[in-house]
Structure 1
Amino acid sequence: MSANPTPTDRTSPDARATSDAVEAPGTAAGQPALFRPITIRGLTMRNRVWVPPLCQYSVTDRDGVPHDWHLVHLGAMAAGGAGLVVAEATAVSAEGRISDHDTGLWNDEQAEAWSRITRFIRSQGAASGIQLAHAGRKASVWPEPLRRPGSQPLEDGGWPTVSASAVAFDGLREPTALDEAGIQQVIDDFRSAARRAVAAGFDVVEVHAAHGYLVHQFLSPLSNRREDRWGGGLENRARLLLELVRGVRLEVGERMPLFVRFSATDWAEGGWDEEQTAIVAGWAQEAGADFFDVSTGGLVAHARIPVGPGYQAHLAEYVGDRADVPVSAVGRITMPEQAERLVADGEVDAVMFGKAMMRDPHFALRAAYELGADSSMWPPQYLRARPEVNDGEW
């Protein structure tokens, strides 16, 4: 593992990108930065307006199989012009679900159901991604909109949880600390899920190392109290993530982009922070990761988070500059001009729009219109609704 990455200077949206994550050739002159294609390994995405994983808690049959809601939810955003649509946090095992209404990718039935969704996303010109996740100590909670305080009781369908250490998240049941066999099982589960993601037709696989879930629980000293090779110093706390990145890379091959989602900070004293994130991002890139989706928080309930417009973007920029890796920003970025500045000024390489996309699945089409970008993303079925043919009105 290399030493602490050195800060870099960037003056263009792609200066940080490696040869495998670059602006696609043939980009039209004058195209807004947010709508310039980007190529990562063997995949070119038509723009940098991306959909982050958005948990839907909609698998009411409790079998992890996505259904019509997931097709329409994700498909609408693909038809709406997004460059990349990432499916929600999808459990690599039944015990890794946040709730029993989560999607999964631990069996072939689930993979087949996902393949219907990836086919439609691709048919609309977007790339499809999936976030592979294990909730750890934050598993077995009540699904939204049925959310109640505390863990879901075992007699009501809940299950025992696991973590780096036997330290509970506030208000939830105490987890069991994973032993060596349990850690190896988690690694095997991520690898199997990655293999099924390829079979299901996904274009991108993301490892979830954020928001207080299992990988983040290993990374942060607030939740990892171990004294073995999986705990203590930063290199040990990062070991699980790096093993997952190496294992997933082996499963997906050399052409598929591999993302990692980080929480750049716990927003809590003595916890995980942006400096550690940047160091581990550099290590993860060496292990086979290509791109870093930077969020924050989720590990502890007492975090004091200064929420506001674009409140996490500076942390994505920090990680990108310190580690010299491509990054995306997410969090209260709601206006096309706001996102355009972030990309055009070289602060980030793409922007994830969560709630903005849920409010308006055609957000990317609207942003393209407002920024004066090429309108070829419009589905043929909707061409007569373009503002250009309707007196310029959205």
Structure 2
Amino acid sequence: MNDAYRHVLEPLSLSPHLKLKNRLFFAPMGIDLADENGCFTPAMLDFYKSILAGGCSMAFLSNATVSAQSRLQSAGLGLYAPEQASALKPLLAWSEQVGVPVGVQLQHYGGQGTTTLTDAPVMTPSGVPCPRVSQLDPNYRVRIMDEADIAEVVEQFAHSAWLAWGAGARLVQLQASNGYLLGSFLSPATNQRTDRYGGSEENRARLLLEVIEAIQRRTGPHLLITVRLGIDDRLGEKGLQFSQLKETVQALCRAGVSALECSMCVGATFNQFLTYSPAMDEYLQAGVRAIKSVSTVAVGYAGFIDGLDKAERLLAEGVCDWIGMSRALFADNDLINKTFEGRAHQINRCLWDGQCFKDKSNPRFDRVYCCVNPNYLRPALV
């Protein structure tokens, strides 16, 4: 069995001090189980303990907002206050105990946040609204960031990273994809600025690079930084495409990031990834290959990867360096162990229907559910 997955089982060094036992990680997935103060909860701890015991080499804790003024879900995680950092300590301590590191994904929702939860306009590079959120939030309104706002956001990311490090995290991931704030600066569709933060590829990447520099100043060499990088927002020629990111990827590598995770789509186009499509799967892989060809650090991605057979093929073909799974591991936390133990026939397979994503905006649900996992099976609505 191990010979069949020799690429999957190859260790991966993200730094001289962090070596992963295999090439599989739990990709960021918002499960929206924080308390009303944005603190990590016992229910989240139970979930991530199950994930960490399931055979992956690391996991990302998703969507920890860096600002009380940037929110999307009432049960979304926060990491801007000391009590929120303290609430993370049990998970981070457990991860060290079992040898499966947890990376904390730091998030600013930008134009894809909600106004209703904060009673404040959402911040954007150029005032371009998100059509999807504007339909869901009757109070939705946007404002254009000035340079003082940008400096504040840089400080917020650095502060949140410092809190994560103090709580025991060994790495963070910057959410620079899927239409959220850092990613929206990268895309010409949402960044139409004419100052030093807009226009050229170099200028559009400036905010992300300033965030990285600020975190490094605050935490020194102790905290690893990874980036979830939006490589195509699927908005066509007016938007971001992976052919436009060579300078950005090279700048990120020079800045000292430890790894990249590629992602596609934004709020307005996320439906393209809800259900499996061979054409979209192939396009995503082509984009990842393009990023890997100009990167000097490990490049991975998550998307339509349903198990270890596909993971092994992607690694063997050189599409990427490490493999993320979110929906597949959400459907069965023990998928990896079951495969290695010859119990693949027992796996609860993801249906790839996207219902878990839709739960996030369904007012009748209090969390994200699953179609096949009996531990959080979606209740029937009558």
TM-score, length-scaled by structure 2: 0.81
| Displacement of 1:163 | 0.8
Instruction: Assess, with a 3 A threshold, how the Cα gap between structure 1 residues 73 and 361 changes in structure 2: closer, same or farther.
Output: same
CA distance in structure 1 between the aligned counterparts of 2:202 and 2:3, rounded to whole angstroms: 44
Note if 1:281 corresponds to 2:249: yes
Q: Deviation string for 1:335-357 (max 9, x for gaps)?
A: 21110111122221110000111
The reply to whether residue 265 of structure 1 matches residue 228 of structure 2 is: no
The equivalences for 1:1-394 within 5 A come to 32-41=6-15, 42-61=17-36, 63-140=37-114, 153=116, 158-171=119-132, 172=134, 173-269=140-236, 270-298=238-266, 300-301=268-269, 307-308=276-277, 310-311=281-282, 312-370=284-342
Contact 1:187 1:244 in 2 (8 A): yes
Note the alpha carbon deviations across 1:160-210, whole angstroms, 9 max, x for none: 211111111114223111111110000000000010111111122111100
- Deviation, 1:367, is 3.2
3-state DSSP of counterpart to 2:312:
helix
Percent identical residues: 26
Count of residue pairs brought into register by the alignment: 331
Q: Distance in 1 between matches of 2:270 and 2:97?
A: 44
CA offsets 1:312-344 (integer angstroms, 9 cap, x no match)? 233212101133432012101002111011112
Distance 1:272 1:174, change over 3 A: same
Deviations 1:51-82 (A, max 9, x none): 01111122242x11011121011111101111
Alignment partners' CA distance in 1, 2:116 and 2:220: 40
Tell whether the 8 Å contact from 1:313 to 1:330 is kept in structure 2 after alignment: no
Structure 1 CA distance, aligned partners of 2:342 and 2:224?
30
Offset of 1:256 from its aligned partner?
Answer: 3.4
State the distance in 1 between where 2:68 and 2:227 align: 21
Paired with 1:279 and 1:120, the residues of 2 have a C-alpha distance of 38
Query: Considering only aligned residues, what root-mean-square deviation do their CA atoms show, in Å?
Result: 2.3
Query: Which amino acid letter does the alignment assign opposite residue 338 of structure 2?
Result: R
Amino acid of the residue matched to residue 168 of structure 1? P
Unaligned runs of at least 5 residues, structure 2: 135-139, 345-382
Gaps of 5+ in 1: 1-27, 141-151, 373-394
Amino acid at match of 2:50: A
Separation in structure 2 between the aligned mates of residue 252 and residue 29 of structure 1, nearest angstrom? 40
Comparing 124-133 with 299-308, greater Cα deviation is found at: 299-308
Shift of 1:218: 0.8
Q: 2 CA distance for matches of 1:362 and 1:302? A: 27
TM-score when normalising by structure 1: 0.79
